[in-house]
Structure 1
Amino acid sequence: MNGGPRVRTAPFPVWPQFDDSEREALVRALDHGSWCRYGGVEVDAFEGEFAKYHHAAGALAVTNGSHALELALELIGLRPGDEVIVPAYTFIATSTAVHRRGGIPVPVDVDPVTHCLDPAGLEAVATDRTRAVIPVHMGGLVADMDAINAWAEPRGIPVIQDAAHAHGAMWRDRGLGELSTMATFSFQKSKVVTAGEGGALLLPGELYGEAFSRHSCGRAPDLSLRTASSNFRLSEFSAAVLRVQLGRLAEQTARRERRHEELTAVLAGIPGVIPQGRDERCTVNPHYMTSFVLDPGELAGLSRDTVVQALLAEGIPAFGSYPAIYRTEAFRAAENGAVRVEDIARRCPNAEELGARGIMIPHQVLLGGHREIDDVAKALAKVLAQLPRTGGGQP
């Protein structure tokens, strides 16, 4: 950043990764001639393969991850004014989906180690209007589904897993489709399975027919229009690409898991760096990102955003973490039950810390080798040692 030599001059592995397999799949869909799922074969095949991969009774492919969340909320009958508990630290789409269905997202704090929704906070924010809870598997680490389901089931509150980061993740060696809840996924360009855009839901078997109707303009199997809904159908071209991408997921996940273990070990050895922790019950983690927090006790006065800028200058892909959702204009612009931002912030200290001092390294870095891991660690240590301590530690 000051004009000296960069730590990293070679490119990191590119994302998305593709080869002639995707080209052949696109031509196959093109030649089939039916580019919509009606009459096509690719979407149906992908849904079957995606459901099997996640040990689910069924899967429904949709246009994107946001629509997957909206459709899941539609399926549970969310009505205007209903409340949905969401993590305070997540990408804004988790709460926006609630807003778009007329509901009120209620943020709850996250665990400081896992960065996932903290089940201990559920009871304090629940009311007689609570209609659902949406845990997010942050970075691919599955939230504490044992505790969340144990809290929700006796209260009759549906759980919807936001698994946009967690393709192929497993909890206690069980696929996400075995956890007695719906789960939603994104295939946006940065995700570990991607077609540029797209999404999916994992569904209990009895919900597939209703979900299919609601994702296709409310059509019943006989094509009669029986309910008011929208068009969330995925194209045959996207599904053809996703089938190939899904076929690479297991091998890529294994590579990322090996490199993630190396990277977090070296990051933890840098003073003031606190990597996202583990939960041993999450037995497969695709590691959509490697995230860590700058400890204000060790690194007081060091701006997170300046650290990110310096890492980029050193040739390391890095991003500031998500802001706490209640700190965004998008959250404040919608109906939130007249709760003040500062009141939410007081009950969400961990989301505050992550939003202000968290840094993310994207998953394609983990598809490299030992040199890539060494360069990330070397660059971060260099940046933290040389940057001036100014700015009061705020981003």
Structure 2
Amino acid sequence: MKNPDQTRREFIKNNALAVAGAAFAASLPTTLYASPKSASPAILGGDPSWSVAKWPKWPRWNPETDEKKLLEVMRSGVWSRAEVVTEFEEAWADALGAKRSLAVVNGTNALVTAISQFNIQAGDEVLVPPYTFIATVSAVLTNGAMPVFVDIDPLTYQMDPAKIEAKITPRTKAIIPVHILGLPADMDKIMAIAKKHNLIVIEDACQAHLAEIDHRKVGTIGHAGCFSFQNSKNLPIGEGGAVVSNDDAFIDRCFSYTNFGNPYGSAVGAVGAGAMMQGTKLRFSEYQAAVGLAQLKRLDSETTTRNENATYLKSQIKDIPGIVPYKLYDNVTRAAFHLFPFRYKQEDFKGLSRADFLKALSAEGVPCSSGYTTLNTQPFLNETFKSKGFKNSFAKDALDIKNYNEKNKCPENNLLCSEAVWFTQNMILGTKSDMDDIATAIEKIHKNAEKIKNLSKK
């Protein structure tokens, strides 16, 4: 038997070491002791890479900093367009480096307004890309003009300048490049073509707040730019839009058009000014402007965060076989990243369909979308062409939908619509660790693509 004193000393020594070890362990970062995430995809029973609930919420609202102006407006009783709307317009123009800005009810009507005040109307043609939200095309149709689709650059998803001139006819009056997803179009080449053919350029920058080409904000490069402030946008107001331009006479006309045709500068509610044109009512409200001013304060810093995280995420996923991220033109100095896009090549994922890839990615806690479906073949075009206004303005063969579809084929867009995957802009407001988790999720799916494909067959 051991000496009792020796046994007691060993007990005290061992117990002290155990206590010290426990204290040391408690002082270490918890991640060193956390169970590693399963290498198996969540859709196969593994641990999700992330949680949907942990992504940054959108829109953001901070009562302490955001509500003062809004409450002042609400308590004033002056809710129709007045001084706060003017303040927002001046702030938005200043943020873009534009001379003038006119706030309207939404981005769609910003486009409608701009098109109308360049005298683009029934019988005219307007060149548009097929990879865009329906509003771009519906704004053209609302003015009685014919949308002519120019296929995309497969790397950037933007209207391909090399395909523009083949679509120009004597009826062509304008080009509407769309900085879709917040990625700038090739404006240098587009403006050169427009100048050569004496065409108006209206930038659809509804998704491209503060994006830049050679340090010039998109929306200020063409003859006019249009923006949206809808709830999902990088500058969210719920609903809202703006037309920007350096042309005073043009903005004055836009103001009149959105205010019943009354002259620029006439007060809201005035009935004796006398309308100078046929107009409509698209006025912005004071409380919308108050929300916009609050959101504008953080737009620049949020845009920087989106660019940093998008660049990092791209670097983390670009070497995964079957993942082809977006490309920016060389002269893009800043993107907006309203969406983070990449192309999914199912042949590099053992034939796993895009739909099943999206399900597997969603199971990892990574929200995702397949994006747009083809726009240039949708039924609304044929329905519009059947209207009396279009029949009176265009030749019968131009309105024949089979003939129209044949002339407006966009094979690159068709392929993109079958391969695209999107992440929303709030996701890339997270941390680099969040971006790592997205990449990890995609890698897990790639490594287990065969098993996931077999699961979907059951």
TM-score range, shorter chain: over 0.9
2:60 aligned with 1:17, yes or no?
A: yes
- Looking at secondary structure, tell me which structure has more helix per residue: 2
Native 8 Å contact 1:111 1:350 kept in 2: yes
Cα distance between partner residues in 1 of 2:72 and 2:407: 51
Deviation track 1:49-97 (CA, whole Å, cap 9, x = no partner) reads: 1111111110000000100111111011121231111001111111111
Q: How far apart, in 2, do the equivalents of 1:147 and 1:91 lie?
A: 23
Which residue is 1:325 aligned to? 375
Distance (whole Å) between structure 2 residues aligned to residue 298 and residue 349 of structure 1: 22
Alignment pair present for 1:139 and 2:181: yes
Equivalent positions of 1:196-235 (< 5 A) are 196-203=238-245, 204-221=247-264, 222=266, 223-235=273-285
- The alpha-carbon deviation at position 167 of structure 1 amounts to 0.7
The aligned runs of 1:282-293 (5 Å cut-off) are 282-293=332-343
1:269-288 map, 5 Å: 269-288=319-338
Q: CA RMSD in A?
A: 2.0
Question: Which sections of structure 2, spanning at least 5 residues, go unmatched?
Answer: 1-42, 267-272, 386-397
* Letter aligned with residue 200 of structure 2: P
Deviations 1:222-269 (A, max 9, x none): 531222221111111111110111111111111111111111111211
Q: Does 1:26 align with 2:70?
A: yes
Corresponding residue of 2:40: none
The Cα shift of 1:131 comes to 1.4
The answer as to whether partners of 1:274 and 1:292 remain within 8 angstroms in 2 is: yes
From 432, 437, 442, the counterpart of 1:370: 432
The answer to whether the Cα contact below 8 Å between 2:356 and 2:453 also exists between their aligned partners in 1 is no
Q: Which amino acid aligns with 2:427?
A: V
User: What is the deviation of 1:278?
Assistant: 1.5
- Pick the structure with greater CA Rg: 2
- Aligned ranges 1:96-175 → 2 under 5 Å: 96-175=138-217
Inter-partner Cα distance in structure 1 for 2:286 and 2:441: 43
Q: Whole-Å Cα distance in 1 between the matches of residues 219 and 418 of structure 2?
A: 34
SS of residue in 2 equivalent to 1:274 = strand
- For 1:11 and 1:196, the matched residues in 2 are separated by 23
Task: Say whether the 8 Å CA contact 1:320–1:359 is kept in structure 2.
Answer: yes
User: In 2, distance between residues paired with 1:366 and 1:355?
Assistant: 22
How much has 1:109 moved relative to structure 2?
0.7
Report the count of equivalent residues. Answer: 388
Does the 8 Å contact 1:36/1:235 carry over to 2? yes
| 1:343 counterpart residue number | 406
TM-score (norm 2): 0.81
Matched residue SS, 1:159: strand
Partner residue in 2 for 1:176 = 218
Shift of 1:377: 1.0
Structure 1 residues 158-217: Cα deviation after superposition (integer angstroms, max 9, x where no partner): 011000111111111112354242000000111000111100011222212111000112
1:123-172 Cα deviation digits (max 9, x unpaired) = 11111111111001122221111100100112111011000111111111
3-state SS of the aligned residue for 1:325? coil
Tell me the TM-score normalized by structure 1: 0.93
> What do the CA deviations read for 1:16-36 (whole angstroms, capped 9, x no partner)?
111022222210211232101
TM superposition shift of 1:307: 1.8
